[in-house]
Structures are given as C-alpha cells and as structure tokens.
Structure 1
C-alpha cells in the first residue's frame, strides 16, 4: 500500500479523536461555568440572608434601645417629689446613658419613700389609693420625699393595647414638660384605674387626665403621648428595675409589678391598711432619727 493511501486511511480516526477532545473540552468548560454559577448563587443567597439578619438585628436593637434622650426630671428612672409637691429637676440623659440614682441626705430627717409601680397593676392601685392621700401633706411639709418609678411590666395584659407602656410613657411626658403636675396625674391613674386584662385607658382619656391634673403645657404633652416619645425609654427603665440592682436598698431587683421602699427597706405589709404603712414609715423615721441624733453629753462631776 502506498504512503498516500496510509495517510487517507488514518484521517477518519483522527477526526473522531479530535471530535471527542472537543466534546471533552466543552463538557469541562460547561462544568466550570456551572460550578461558578452555583458558587455565585450560593454566595448571593448567603449575602441576602446575612443582609436580612442584619436588618432584623437593627430593628430588634432599635426596638429595645432608646433612640431619643430620656425624659427630663427622671435621671434616676423616677420622679422625686419633695417639699410643696415640687419635683427635683434633672437634665435629660442621652439614650445610652446610665441612670443617676438619687441619694437621700444622710443628715436629714426626711423619710425617703420610693414606689415602683405599673399603672395597670391592681395591687399597685390598692397601695396608692390607700396611702397617697395621707402621704400628700407629709410631702408638702417636707417630712417625706416620694420618688415615683413608673414601670411597664403588664404591657401584654391589656387586650393588645399595651396600656402599661402607654400610661408610663404619658407619665414620662408629664415629668418632662410639666413636672409639678406629676403628683396629681399619677394619682388620677390609680384613683380610677382600669381593670387588669382590659384595654385600659385610651390616649385621649390619658390626655384628659393630664389636663385635669392642671398641666400647663398640654399641647407638648399631647404630642408626646401621640408620638409614644418615651416608650423605648420606659421599656429600658423597666428592664433595669427587673434585672437590678435597686440602688440604695436592701432589694436586689423587682420581682413583681409593685415595690415600695422606705429608707431602702421593702414594705411587705398590708396594701389596703393606711395604718400599717404609716406605722412602717414612723418606724423608719424613728430608726433614722436614732442613728443620726447627736448623743447627749454625760454630765461631769
């Protein structure tokens, strides 16, 4: 056979080999593209999931952390009412600032009473209705200071209206814009207190209570109530009370919706007996007087 014929016979095999090699290269290229596509798709999904998680985290943090300064006159998370029913003035704290605990004067004979209470809590209402009237003249005369801490613990107990949170926000609005109306406004929320489990008072009714308390800046307070301006602060302050510690006291933290401290000692007596609470206050006053009174000198021969 000639050399020309041998060359012609080998061409079909070479063509088939070249075709197989081309097909292999195409498969390899396609597989690489597919792997890149899957990697990009997986990366896109991961990035998308991470973005969603980041958004959710921001929303949660924003919901928990205050985004506005706290109310004025509540630097301790409470309103200190003293002589003449006047409120101790304090500056508004920044959103991330820690509260500044009020410190009673150890040389004064004034009894320090602190009340942590939820406006929907029935037991809180029992205590305040029983004792605020007898405390009022003592506060006016400067014998007693009362520090009110509105907390929102029963927020989920009001048929979805979040009354505890709204009422505490309204109290913070009053403290911020017209603090000297706070005593009467606070008392009004307990005098005609809505029942636990019910919807509570509407915002419009809260505004009417503000006006009835003699507040002067009702426009600012009404806007503050409508905006829920201090709701995030109320939530954070309530969490602080529940997690503790409770400053200047023998109590580590709140364990229910009412905590009453007299010179740092918890009151555990009857919530509907004014005499029982008065006796506890007098005992605390006597203890304070005994511990701070100047000893009588012993006569010399």
Structure 2
C-alpha cells in the first residue's frame, strides 16, 4: 500500500511562495518597528544629553560671571575718610558704573586733609607707615588731621599667583563695609604683618584672624566677605579709576604708583621713610592749600 499526502494537505508552489512573502513581510514590519523604537530612544538620549550640556554651561556662566555689584559702604569716594577719634565718615556704597563722589574738604577749617593711596603688599608703603604711622595716629586722635585711605592692588604679580594685593584690598573693603570704625586699626595691622614682596602673602584665614584681632563688628559677615572676595571687582575698578584719573582737588592728574600721599591737595615728594621731612611738609601744606594755580609742592625742610 502506498501512503502519501492527500491533495487537501499538499500546498501548491504558489501557496508556498505567498506564505514566504507574508513571513518576510512580517519580519520586515517587525524590524521597522524595532528600528523606529531605537531611533526614538536615541533621539531622546541625544536631547537629554544636549539639555544636560546646556544646563552645565549655563551654571558655569552664572557662577563665573557675576553681575556688577556695589562697592563697599563708607567708600563712596573709593577711599574711606578717617577723622577725629579714628572714626570713619559713613557713606553709601558706590553703585556699579557710577563715578566716585569725593569727600568735601572745608578750606575754612584748620583740619589737615591727608590722602593716601596704598597697596598693602607694597614694601615702600610699609616703610612710609613704619616711619609716619605714629604721627598720623596722633594727628587723627587730636582732630588735627583727617586721613583718607584708598586701598589699591598693583602688586598681584609679585605673590606667586595668590593675588595677595587684591585679597588684602578686598579684606580692607570688607572691614570698611561692615565695621568702618575699625578700618584704621585693620589698616595698621595689615602693615604690621606685611609679608615680603615675592612671597604668597597672607592666607585668607590669616587675614580673617587679623580682622578678629582688631575687634570688627559682625566677624562672621566679614569672614564670608573675605572668603568670597565680595569686592574683588570693585578693587580692580577702583585701581583703574585711580590710574586713569582725575584726582580731584589735587595737583596731580592720576596715581602713578604707591604710596602716593597728598596733603591738602599737594603731593608729597620727599623721602617716604623720613618722618621729620613728612611732618615739615604737612606743616607747610597746612598753609598752602591747593588751588588751580598750585603746580609745585612745598619743599620739605627739617622741622625745628
């Protein structure tokens, strides 16, 4: 007996071909769906990565490029005016883009106005302070003179990359902003602890320690101000303004270097480490107030 496939079970060649086509079509459709899903996933991943990159860049820009902010309070002129009893003259803060407002000088009184542009890293500034600091303090305490101090940062290049001149000037600005009546003490302390030029300078913790030693008010606020270098941009702008001028009510146009000392509008050109010469200059300048025709400074002569 012969066994075979019945006619109803046997597929014709056309039917087999059609079945193969249907199977291939199903495979293609399935692959296309997989490809579409993979494409969507890939596009979504690319978008997420792009969004993440934009967020990182935006964060970096926001954290590195800070908007302009006001300068320190009590330094509207870019300097702080210290008067009788070592107290500071209160002022508003200098607003971004604004010009400094000079402190008024009363030509009718007999109070001597001394302006000092100093870099706290400048060794010659330190020599001037060492020679004349005690005399300046005596004049201030008695009310014989006012001293306006302009902190500048010129010697950043000399501190092995730590930018000590800027950090010291910023620290001084932090003290002026929140504890102005302690500024003069801090000014003296910076020179008493002045590091040698060419070193890294004082660290921020050391600067903070000095502010606490002079008894600043709100020491934590001052500490954060120093750590954040809150007035770093103001320090740079104030330096530019001083170097470009004008220096109002004086016989000089701009600040060429530190220390620059001006007495009643007249620049001191004598020996910076000679207390007698400076004292004699101050006595002479007291009676030779600056006016538009003042082109020369009194000649320092030995005090009697």
Do the structures match in fold with TM over 0.5? yes
Q: Distance in 1 between matches of 2:147 and 2:202?
A: 25
Q: Distance in 2 between matches of 1:92 and 1:273?
A: 36
Structure 2 residue 275 is matched with structure 1 residue 274 = yes
Q: Could you tell me which residue of structure 1 aligns to residue 201 of structure 2?
A: 200
Q: Could you tell me which residue of structure 2 aligns to residue 153 of structure 1?
A: 154
| Deviation digits for residues 60-86 of structure 1 (CA, Å, limit 9, x no counterpart) | x958xx711110000000000001111
Q: Could you tell me which residue of structure 1 aligns to residue 183 of structure 2?
A: 182
Question: Higher Cα Rg: structure 1 or 2?
Answer: 2
Q: Could you tell me which residue of structure 1 aligns to residue 75 of structure 2?
A: 74
Q: Distance in 1 between matches of 2:112 and 2:135?
A: 14
**Shift, 1:135, TM fit:** 1.0
How large is the RMSD of aligned CA atoms in angstroms? Answer: 1.8
Q: Distance in 2 between matches of 1:85 and 1:75?
A: 18
TM-score computed with the length of structure 1 as normaliser = 0.73
**Residues 1-301 of structure 1 aligned to structure 2 (within 5 Å):** 67-288=68-289
Q: Distance in 2 between matches of 1:92 and 1:256?
A: 25
User: Quick one: higher RCO (CA 8 Å, sep 6+), 1 or 2?
Assistant: 1
Question: Which stretches of structure 1, 4 residues or more, deviate above 3 A after TM superposition?
Answer: none
Relative to structure 2, which stretch is displaced further, 222-231 or 268-277?
Answer: 268-277
SS in 2 for 1:260: strand
* 1:158–1:199 contact (8 Å) kept in structure 2: yes
| Structure with more helix by fraction | 1
Q: Distance in 1 between matches of 2:258 and 2:282?
A: 21
Relative to structure 2, which stretch is displaced further, 186-195 or 175-184?
Answer: 186-195
Q: Flag the 1:281–1:140 CA change in 2: closer, same or farther, 3 A.
A: same
Q: Distance in 1 between matches of 2:138 and 2:97?
A: 37
Q: Flag the 1:62–1:265 CA change in 2: closer, same or farther, 3 A.
A: farther
Q: Which runs of 5+ in 2 are unaligned?
A: 1-57, 290-304
Query: How many residues are paired up?
Result: 229
Q: Which runs of 5+ in 1 are unaligned?
A: 1-54, 289-301
Q: Distance in 2 between matches of 1:261 and 1:84?
A: 21
**Shift, 1:212, TM fit:** 1.1
Q: Distance in 1 between matches of 2:73 and 2:247?
A: 21
**Shift, 1:103, TM fit:** 2.1
SS in 2 for 1:87: coil
Q: Distance in 2 between matches of 1:206 and 1:230?
A: 15
Relative to structure 2, which stretch is displaced further, 130-139 or 225-234?
Answer: 130-139
**Shift, 1:155, TM fit:** 1.3
Relative to structure 2, which stretch is displaced further, 207-216 or 181-190?
Answer: 207-216
Q: Distance in 2 between matches of 1:278 and 1:131?
A: 8
Q: Distance in 2 between matches of 1:219 and 1:251?
A: 40
Relative to structure 2, which stretch is displaced further, 230-239 or 135-144?
Answer: 135-144
* 1:103–1:248 contact (8 Å) kept in structure 2: no
Q: Distance in 1 between matches of 2:219 and 2:132?
A: 28
